[in-house]
Amino acid sequence: MASGSKKRIMVETKNLSKDPPPGISATPDESNNRYFHVVMAGPSGSPYEGGLFKLELFLPENYPMSPPSVRFLTKIYHPNIDKLGRICLDILKDQWSPALQVRTVLLSIQALLSSPNPDDPLANDVANMWKTREQEAVLKAKEWTRLFAME
């Protein structure tokens, strides 16, 4: 691992624990400092409000030149998150920049929970419902939050 990459990960990890983003905790795994256990509170005013969602975040060998890979471990009903927990978000793909940090990624995912984008879906069935029967989709998202993201 490049020492620059190692140092960057250490600095970001320290900043995340010292000044965590609101409603998000990201804890490095004891055995692998590139792997983070993330818990994200559903944003207030969203269908995910009140839920605590578990995610995993992994920093690739060539981080920060490549984006982290992040996925939801908690089941979630969202047009931009598929049933494997993969997330459709531009900064995790073609809009990634080494200037971005883990913190930015987590805040962007949290923002995605507040404003789903059914026009760029990963889960087509969910996106179709979101577009055609939004009330129903929101109710289902709330139900899944209650079932899978609340103790």
**Which residues are bridge partners to 86 per DSSP?**
71
Instruction: Name the pLDDT band for 5 (thresholds 50, 70, 90).
Output: confident
Active site residue 131: no
Across the chain, what does the average pLDDT equal?
A: 95
What confidence score (pLDDT) does residue 4 get? Answer: 82
- Give the pLDDT band (50/70/90) at residue 2: low
**Going from the N-terminus, what domains does the chain have, and what CATH number goes with each?**
3-148 (3.10.110.10)
User: Distance between CA atoms of 131 and 103, rounded to whole angstroms?
Assistant: 30
Q: Which of 88, 113, 126, 137 is catalytic?
A: 88
Binned at pLDDT 50, 70 and 90, residue 1 comes out as low
Token code pair at residue 56? 């995993």
- The answer to whether 102 and 26 have CB atoms below 8 angstroms apart is yes
Q: For the whole model, what pTM was predicted?
A: 0.94
Q: What is the pLDDT of residues 42-58, one digit of tens each?
A: 999 999 999 999 999 99
Q: What tens digit of pLDDT does each residue of 107-137 get?
A: 999 999 999 999 999 999 999 999 999 999 9
